[in-house]
Amino acid sequence: GENVEQHPSTLSVQEGDSAVIKCTYSDSASNYFPWYKQELGKGPQLIIDIRSNVGEKKDQRIAVTLNKTAKHFSLHITETQPEDSAVYFCAASSGGSEKLVFGKGTKLTVNP
Amino acid sequence: EPEVTQTPSHQVTQMGQEVILRCVPISNHLYFYWYRQILGQKVEFLVSFYNNEISEKSEIFDDQFSVERPDGSNFTLKIRSTKLEDSAMYFCASLRSGASNEQFFGPGTRLTVL
């Protein structure tokens, strides 16, 4: 079955710096890769996603890149702000209604 | 904005007891899921549910677990005889349709088995 690895497990940056979180997946049938943000006491919330027919997607300060050949995808956050501090999860699925397979999460801390 | 809700937020139970975790998915969604997260570990898939039946279940989802959609709004996860290792955060999620991708997650129920 699918296995998703995520690095780093913790990341601390200064406000205004960029943050990059990387994930790899194992199943070439996976074609949907969402990123979720989880704040304390809340459930995961989708922040951006990408399908395998696209190499990059951007939404304001957040971007995701996908290298299908290498089976890895990354989350890029630019101009980080303290409110970006949270746990970020990557996930993979074969799309549609299929289950999500999650990475272990990255705790991002943005220091003012 | 519509959201998935879960009750209770925290459930403490004794080993061997039955628990029912409740979820109200977003009203026009058709697919429902349960995931769990043991402290410090990955969010793991438990079960998916569509058209009043289980679509897929993981190895974790053994005979002690069951799901039900008793009415048009609730989606429940029952653990018949809880074990210490069932202690985790349980998340419910829903998906609008098979053509969509975004699963919306609830805030979770923290289950503590003593």
Q: State whether residue B24 sits within 8 Å of chain A by CB.
A: no
| A98 contact residues in B (CB cutoff 8 A) | 56
Give pLDDT, residue B76.
Answer: 97
More confident residue, A71 or A95: A71
Q: How far apart are CA A39 and CA A12, in angstroms?
A: 16
Q: What are the tens digits of pLDDT across the range A2-41?
A: 999 999 999 999 999 999 999 999 999 999 999 999 998 8
Give pLDDT, residue A7.
Answer: 97
Instruction: Please give the helix or strand (H or E) that residue B109 lies within, else none.
Output: strand B109-113
Q: What are the angstrom distances between the C-alpha of B83 and each of A69, B46, B87, B92? A: 42, 16, 8, 20
- Mean residue pLDDT of chain B comes to 94
Q: State whether residue B25 sits within 8 Å of chain A by CB.
A: no
Task: Give the range among A43-47, A54-58, B100-104 with minimum mean pLDDT.
Answer: B100-104
Task: Tell me how many residue pairs between chain A and chain B have CB atoms under 8 A apart.
Answer: 60
Give pLDDT, residue B70.
Answer: 85
Q: What are the tens digits of pLDDT across the range B71-109?
A: 878 999 999 999 999 999 999 999 998 777 889 999 999
Instruction: Please give the helix or strand (H or E) that residue A24 lies within, else none.
Output: strand A19-25
Which amino acid is located at A79 in the chain?
A: E
User: SS3 sequence, A56-107?
Assistant: EEEECCEEEEEECCCCEEEEEECCCCHHHCEEEEEEEECCCCCCCEECCCEE
Q: How far apart are CA B13 and CA B85, in angstroms?
A: 12
Q: State whether residue B107 sits within 8 Å of chain A by CB.
A: yes
**Cross-chain Cβ contact A104/B45 below 8 Å:** no
Copy the structure tokens of residue A90.
């990557």
Nearest CB to A43 within list B45, B58, B107: B107
Nearest CB to B105 within list A44, A51, A95: A44
